[in-house]
Amino acid sequence: MRTSYTADQIRGAEQALMATLPEGTLMQRAAHGLAAVCAGMLGRVYGSRVLLLVGSGDNGGDALYAGALLARRGARVSAVLAGARTHEAGLAAFLLAGGRVAPDVGAADLVVDGLVGIGGTGALREPYAGLVERAGGPVVAVDVPSGVDASTGQVAGAAVRAQVTVTMGALKSGLLVDPGASRAGHVELVDIGLGPYLPDPDLAALTDPDVAALLPSPGAESDKYRRGVVGIAAGSHAYTGAAVLAVGGALRAGAGMVRYAGPSAPVAQVRTHWPEAVITELDRPSLAGVGRVQAWVLGPGLGTDDWAHELAAQVLASDVPVLIDADALSLVARDHSLLFRSAPVVLTPHAGELSRLLRVARERIEASRLEFVRRAASELNATVLLKGSTTVIAEADRPVRVNLTGSSWLATGGTGDVLSGVAGALLAGGLSGYDAASCAAYLHGLAGTLAADGAPLVSADVATAIPEAMRSLRRARG
């Protein structure tokens, strides 16, 4: 499992470690790690041109010491001293190694962003913003790209867009969550010894072994009921495909049985595509004849009329976990009383749907995903999976989980319906809402990558690739 931390958590760990070490030790460790990454990017260090953008803080010191190491290897290193003050020892080492101070940016094979450290918040101000705009060449950011909030990933205005971010001691949460993650590029972690001093993480990201260990596996005594029976209430005369995709996601993810309930038009489509599903055609919104399930998926393509509201109310009156997606999110946004239940609830909104649930502008949610996914989990008493370029999963009193799998080709209609089915199968298989949502997001992203393979996909391709994604995880586990 990968873990990340807020700026305050990192500073606390650094202070505790520094109290045990000679002065300057941490900066030297950071500088050596930074210089090694820069050398790797340059390929041939001797004769290369390196530009340091140096701010007032310790990040500027890291950049100067790293610049000195590169200069000793024959690089032509110049530094623009942009801050109100400069790290004196770092500057002295830099000049002694043959580095030079430049009045402004010039041509460079590599730019090192040491302007603002993990304590910086808000948009870059002058002269920093202008320097970033004028600097040309690949950018390596020190610890966090300047202009990105290290704790939240917020970008309030001008900010560095790095190809590589070299972060010291531990991952910062803002490097894993958009919009900050999209500014960070590839993240390289330099171990400076913080491990024993770090607190409980702010964020966690599952890895292949984590997900493989959590996924339900049938045993010798398993039957279709022990493997999990998931009910799916989805689809309408207008949106038949949503039901097909949700059922497909659940079946492909290993549900022992899928019970589908819906009106005649989606019933016909589900019956054609998935003869494995047990189908109940509804001529009125009643679950009386559906049979027992261990979890429900509610909402894809359901509609938002009175018929859909009544069916949603019956599903939510059950005593099993319910995953709420798509149209059902609109229903509960209008009627929060539907969420007054004791059994677990998993909500899977995108930013627009969460904006209706919380009555907050979509733009605010997209700019501060961590803040609002945590708020939604607390206010709505639910596990919340916020979909988007960075998918995050929150539950009260647990670290937010961030999903690191996926492909931009997944941004196509219907993929969310597949995700709902996958998560519903995992809920029915016995996983908690927190684990089911996290593992479903991981599998869905991995399946999307496998299905796309660098080319466009359709949602059914993602469902088809779910078993291969599961196999790949189990092979990695051994």
Which parts are annotated binding residues? Answer: 58-62, 113, 117-123, 128, 143, 146, 242, 301, 350, 387-391, 416-417
* C-beta separation of 253 from 443 below 8 A: yes
Q: What whole-number distance in Å separates Cα of residue 247 and Cα of residue 253?
A: 10
Binding-site residue ranges for K(+) = 59, 113, 146
Nearest Cα to Cα of residue 316 among 228, 291, 308: 308
The DSSP element (H or E) to which 382 belongs, if any, is none
Binding-site residue ranges for (6S)-NADPHX = 58-62, 117-123, 128, 143, 242, 301, 350, 417
Is the Cα torsion angle 239, 241, 244, 248 positive or negative in sign? Answer: negative
Sort strands 110-114 and 257-262 into parallel, antiparallel or unpaired: unpaired
Binding-site residue ranges for AMP = 387-391, 416
CA distances (Å), origin 211, targets 25, 215, 403, 462: 38, 6, 11, 18
Phi/psi of residue 306, nearest 5 degrees: -60, -40
Tokens 């261990």, residue located: 294
Q: Is 171 helix (H, G, I), strand (E, B) or coil?
A: strand
Tokens 């009045």, residue located: 103
Cα angle at 87 between 82 and 91, to 5 degrees?
85
Burial annotation 30-41 (CB, 10 A radius, 16+ → b, else e): bbebbbbbbbeb
Nearest Cα to Cα of residue 335 among 363, 313, 354: 313
